[in-house]
Amino acid sequence: MGSIIRAGAPLSGVAGATNDISDTLQNWLATVGNAALKCIVFLIIFFVGWLIARAVDSAVSRLLAKVGFDRLAERTGLRRWTGRYAPSALVGRIVRYIILLITLQLAFGVFGPNAISDLIDAIIAWIPRLIVACVILVVAVAIAGAVFDIIRNALSQFSYGKGLGRAAQIAIIVLGAVAALNQIGVATTVTMPVLITILATIGGILVVGVGGGLIQPMRERWERMLTKGEAEMTKVSTHLKSEPSTGGSASGGDVTMPIPPTT
């Protein structure tokens, strides 16, 4: 009897090890099967989202082309910034990428919390700010182009008209770019160092140059600038004085009727 008990002990140990191996294999198969199922669901979600993104891209591009968005981009000067894409096609492509990002967010959500999902969530939360910044920049470019045309046409008779219009255009675009950068949260890290550098450079030039060896050349330059300014002011004054007389004769003033000869 004692020999039977001693012989059964090794058999029970082998049975326990077999059960442990079986449980481990089952857990591993379940893990692999779960991961494979998640990968299949991920691929299905991404494929469906990719199809939807392509369809929306085509629809947005066609709609914007029909409503005249490309012509508006040509008038505002935005076309030169779109490269090989038409403005309507570029907007459609941007919409496609946004939908693909949302699709990736949903697809990676199948695997539970992970670093990629967190990164995509942060990008998607930042996209509305980027859209607002783009709208601000487009509006600023359009306004700058209109201001340039107005100033250039109004001062077309003067030599400095085009230069003044270009300076106003650049100033408006710079202000729009600063507002756009502020909208996406990089204005303080980009514009402030540049602004400080420009101001420091100008201050150094004024202190060292104007206050030192450039006094005589600057004096000559100021004299030429003031002389030219006086000549331009005289030209403007003459032009303004000639406007009423010209306008009065054109609009119809006192008309002298001829007296018929007496017979």
CA-CA distance, 116 to 112, in Å (whole number)?
10
Tens digits of residue pLDDT in 219-235:
777 777 778 777 777 77
Q: What is the reported pLDDT for 222?
A: 73
Predicted confidence band of residue 249 (pLDDT cuts 50, 70, 90): very low
Tens digits of residue pLDDT in 187-216:
566 666 766 777 777 777 666 665 555 666
Decide: helix, strand or coil at residue 157.
coil
Q: Is the predicted pLDDT of residue 131 greater than 80, yes or no?
A: yes
Q: At what angle do helices 2-66 and 87-108 cross, to 10 degrees?
A: 160
Tens digits of residue pLDDT in 152-186:
888 777 777 788 888 888 888 888 888 888 888 77
Q: Is the predicted pLDDT of residue 254 greater than 50, yes or no?
A: no
Q: Is the predicted pLDDT of residue 259 greater than 70, yes or no?
A: no
Q: What is the reported pLDDT for 253?
A: 45
